[in-house]
Structure 1
Amino acid sequence: MLLSQAASAYGKATIPVGEDPKDVAVNPKTNMVYVANFDNVAVIDGSTNTVVSKIPIGDVNGWAIEVNPNSGKVYVAGHLSASILVLDASTNAVVATIHLNGRPTGIAINPETNTIYAASSDVMEIAVIDGATHKVIERIERDGDFRRISMDPSSGLVYAGNVQYGTVDVIRNMSVDSFRKSYDAQIDYPQAIDVNPETGRVYVSDSDSVLVIGSDNDGHALLERVEVGGIPMGIAVNPETNMVYVANFDDDSISVIDGKTNKVILTPWSVWRDRDIFRHRRHGGAHPLQQAQQISKGQKVSF
């Protein structure tokens, strides 16, 4: 069955965005969504969920993307070019290129200080960039393989998905020792991550789902596991609308999760039935379809 036919049959839809979407970012002030593709950035109007523009970036293999809502700048990790491309959202054009020591896999931004953090897994470092000058001002070495990082400006915490150890590391003040502060959230492959500063919830991608992690004064805890499309590689949260956008690499699509209910409101129909059954047998617990029904009814789900 074609994906479009399945979507129509199940009352759901997709947003075609381009070749191999790997990450997604949201500007909460403009409600515009940016998707990093292999050779372009797709711009989605969040009010209509339609693609309104595609910005060419060359064959850099856009691997990660983040936006500073205060400056209106969009930052794209050029994996093949070992650089960060800076886009001006008002003109939809590349205005600067920041060269790094390695191939970037993750970007985080503190909009209050206009500081950008770029993780390169091949050289195991995070480059700290001044957003005003587009210059690297510090390089922090660390252990592990971090593909995505995200910052909560309200708490000053940086969250990094460590695919080497299957953990999410909580980083304070970007110090090397703080990378040891991690917790096990039952994650196979935490490749994408983002945080909602309004709710304090952290969203982490796994093999075929998104984990919702809550935080308070006592620490962090797994709240929900939400099934999405095939191989989620990018997550972005709009704190103004409390919507979570997930870039599904294998489906060339975007899933949209309502942060209030943790329910998917826009997603491709799942064609991974055999894989879902395998995952159910491997991890135990309820089948993903049963989990979705439990979540929709507000019931507690065991993982």
Structure 2
Amino acid sequence: MDRQSNILGSRMVRGRVQQLLLGLTATATLVVGMTGMGAATATADEVVATVPAGDAPSWVAISPDGTRAYVANAGNSSVSVIDTGTNSLIDTVAVGRDAEGVAVSPDGSRVYVTSTGDDTLSVIDTGTNAVIDTVTVDSPYGVAVSPDGSRAYVTARTDNTVVVIDTTTNSIVDTIPVGSVPEWLAVTPDGSRVYVATEGDGSVWVIDTTTDTVSNTIPVWGQPFAVAIAPDGSRVYVTNFADNSVSVISTATDTPTANIPVGEDPFGVSITPDGSRVYVANFGDNSVSVINTATHTVIDTVLVGVGPYSVANTPDGSHAYATNRLQGSVSVF
């Protein structure tokens, strides 16, 4: 069993206790969040709403127009659809078993969801919020879509590969061997490279999308999990959950240039559209670290729900959404 699974298991008991202790607070926050949430505006990095999601929410992705947040729920095999204008749950879409990863196409018309329990990638039509196709992928986890929307890249954790899918035909067109236990991945803004965090060998693998071959391997600190790339493509930010840090990689040289201490057991990571801030979901201490990308220092820590697992920013940079895996909710700040 990988260390990520051990961490999730070991935190479960503590998380359930915290849920009981925080029950009244969470309920009050939900009431506030569900009444007049559309008018709430964060003047700083502070939680302004808490939205109910499914059981064990994993990854979150925001639509390109910023109107919807899509949350993959591992516990009840579904995707929660959140209206970001009102911060309310407006739909739930049934997908494959143990839904983990989620990504939205650049035009906002499709949502791609990995389900580790039945080895599928579900394709959702956002116009109808219905699954229109499924692709069989062995042990899928992370998913990312190319900037032109023509390809979806999916990590296959037990096969140690990245699967390339043609989004027009929803069929596999290539399989690329990478390191041990690939977790999350991200595509550069120009679509030329994919950066893949491989937990098992403590590295980030770089894929050339022109040839679908590995062009570089970058050792980092601890066990890497998630990846986010700066809007200008100059830097890659990688969470190391065994080291409680975030590695910064220069894409010009594919070498680490900094290692930033953050909270306990960092998993998900995102970056604001202007590239000035990086947000890190710290599963172990129920917080999100805010990093100033100019100084590579943590400038704020936001307390969220129990077991924050992933985080995503809205396209205008005004809000962030963090999934609380042990609380069945999403914090908005």
Deviation at 1:137, TM superposition (A): 1.6
The reply on whether 1:189 has 2:223 as its aligned counterpart is yes
Letter in 1 for 2:122: L
Partner of 1:26: 62
| CA distance in 1 between partners of 2:195 and 2:103 (Å) | 14
Whole-angstrom distance in 1 between the partners of 2:187 and 2:205: 12
Paired residue type of 1:106:
G
Question: Please, which moves more after superposition, 77-86 or 112-121?
Answer: 112-121
* Residue of structure 1 aligned with 2:129, choices 81, 87, 92: 92
* Match of residue 128, structure 1, among 138, 148, 164: 164
What residue number does 1:42 align with? 80
Contact 1:24–1:247 under 8 Å retained in 2:
no
Match of 1:118 in 2: 154
Deviation at 1:96, TM superposition (A): 1.6
The whole-number CA distance in structure 1 between the counterparts of 2:277 and 2:54 is 21
1:258 shift after superposition: 6.3
State the alpha-carbon separation in 1 of the partners of residues 214 and 95 from structure 2: 37
Letter in 2 for 1:69: P
Q: Structure 1 residues 92 and 240 mapped into 2: Cα distance closer, same or farther (>3 Å)?
A: farther
1:143–1:212 CA distance, 2 compared to 1 (3 A): closer
How many residues are matched?
Answer: 262
Provide the TM-score with structure 1 as the length reference. 0.70
1:206-234 superposed Cα distances (whole Å, 9 cap, x missing partner): 22745152425344434452534x64443
Tell me which residue corresponds to 2:53. 17
Judging changes above 3 Å, is the alpha-carbon distance between structure 1 residues 206 and 19 closer, same or farther for their aligned structure 2 residues? farther
Q: TM-score, normalised by structure 2?
A: 0.65
- Give a deviation string over 1:65-104, Cα, whole Å, max 9, x none: 111122521111011110101112233222221112x110
Instruction: Please state whether the residue corresponding to 1:191 is helix, strand or coil.
Output: strand
Q: Which runs of 5+ in 2 are unaligned?
A: 1-17, 29-44, 308-333
Does the 8 A contact of 1:258 with 1:265 survive in 2? no
Deviation string 1:151-197 (CA, Å, 9 cap, x unpaired) is 1132611111111111112222364442xx222331x2212222233
CA distance in 2, matches of 1:149, 1:85: 18
1:242–1:34 distance in 2 versus 1, CA, 3 Å: farther
Pair 1:81 & 2:81 matched: no
Which amino acid is 1:111 matched to?
P
Question: Aligned residue for 2:246?
Answer: 211
Please name the residue that 2:269 is paired with.
235
Give the AA of the match of 1:60.
Answer: R
Take 2:237 and 2:25, find their aligned partners in 1: how far apart are those partners? 27
Q: Cα gap change, 1:211/1:126 in structure 2, threshold over 3 Å: closer, same or farther?
A: same
Q: Distance in 2 between matches of 1:245 and 1:198?
A: 17
Distance 2:53 2:239 in 1: 19
- 1:43 Cα deviation (Å)? 3.3
- Corresponding residue number in structure 2 for 1:170: 206
Taking a change above 3 Å as real, the CA distance of residues 254 and 172 of structure 1, as seen in their structure-2 partners, is: farther
Question: Which residue does the alignment assign to 2:178?
Answer: 142
Contact 1:24 1:245 in 2 (8 A): no
| Cα contact 2:79–2:95 (8 A) shared by 1 | no
CA contact (8 A) 1:28 1:239 kept: no
Distance change (3 Å), C-alpha of 1:200 and 1:241:
closer
**Aligned residue identity for 1:84:** L
In the alignment, what sits opposite 1:161?
Answer: 197
Q: What is the alpha-carbon distance in structure 2 between the residues aligned to residue 36 and residue 245 of structure 1?
A: 19
CA distance in 1 between counterparts of 2:292 and 2:73 reads: 25
SS of the equivalent of 2:81 reads strand
**Identity between Structure 1 and Structure 2 (%):** 25
Q: Which amino acid letter does the alignment assign opposite residue 194 of structure 2?
A: V
